Structure 1
C-alpha cells in the first residue's frame, strides 16, 4: 500500500478470493481503503499489508 501525504491509504491490488467462501465476486466496501464485500456469502472483511519483507 502506498501512503498519501494526508496519511491515508490507497488500494494497490485487488483481493481475488473471499477468505470465507472462496468466491470471486468481491467489491470494495466501506470508507476504508482495505474493506471488501463478498457478493456470494454477503460477508465484509478487511485486508491489510503488515510487512513488505524489504529491509533497509
Structure 2
C-alpha cells in the first residue's frame, strides 16, 4: 500500500509530551500547534518516518 506524500493522516496528540497531562487544546498562533493547560507549554508534533522500509 502506498500513500501520496500530500495525503497523510494526522491525528491529534492525546497528551502533552512534556508533563503528560491530557488537557491540551489547539494553539491559536500556529496552525499545527497545541497548548497544554497544565504546564502552559505550546508545542507541535511532526512525524518524520514510520520505520517501514520501501522496496
Q: Which runs of 5+ in 2 are unaligned?
A: none
Moved over 4 A (4+): none
Give 1 or 2 for the bigger CA radius of gyration: 2
Among candidates 45, 49, 53, match of residue 47 of structure 1: 45
Shift of 1:11: 6.9
Q: Which runs of 5+ in 1 are unaligned?
A: 5-9
* Aligned-residue RMSD, C-alpha: 2.2
Partners of 1:26 and 1:13 in 2: CA distance: 14
- Taking structure 2 as the reference length, what is the TM-score of the superposition? 0.66
Number of residue-to-residue matches in the alignment: 49
Higher strand share: 1
Could you tell me which residue of structure 2 aligns to residue 3 of structure 1?
6
